[in-house]
Amino acid sequence: MADTHSLEDFKRHIKVYIAVFVALLVGTIITVAAWKWGNFPALWLTIAVALFIATIKAFLVAGYFMHLMSERKTIYAILAATAFFFVGLMYLVVWARDQMPHGTAYWGNPVKPGEPAAKTGH
């Protein structure tokens, strides 16, 4: 049995897609404006604003264009996996900070005259 939709359903979906498209367009304009003309006191704040807007845009694309609004279990599973790997990678970054060589000219600490240079393993 074929699944039939009324013309009103079709028009409603088209309106939603157009609204999402306009929201994505506005989000892109805001991101570019924040980068180009935003006088934020720090670079990290500019990056945070851009990432916030990009997160909203990604939600709109995934939720409406990829039809994931009704896939709650899948979304939560992907979100949990993403959070798990993000925390794991951040742990590795923090852990690796103590494993890096220090005291070399490369790291901004020039070797004092008369001291041997630190070996880098090359």
Tokens representing 44?
A: 């990290």
pLDDT of residue 57: 93
Burial profile 51-89: b = 16 or more Cβ within 10 angstroms, e = fewer: eebeeebeebeeebeeeeeeeeeeeeeeeeeeeeeeeee
pLDDT score, position 103:
57
Q: What residue segments make up the domains of the chain, in order of their start?
A: 7-68, 71-99
pTM of the model: 0.54
CA atoms within 13 A on the CB side of 106: 7
pLDDT in tens, the chain (122 residues): 456 678 888 888 899 999 999 999 999 998 888 878 877 788 788 888 888 999 999 989 988 888 777 788 887 888 899 999 999 998 888 877 776 665 555 555 555 666 665 555 55
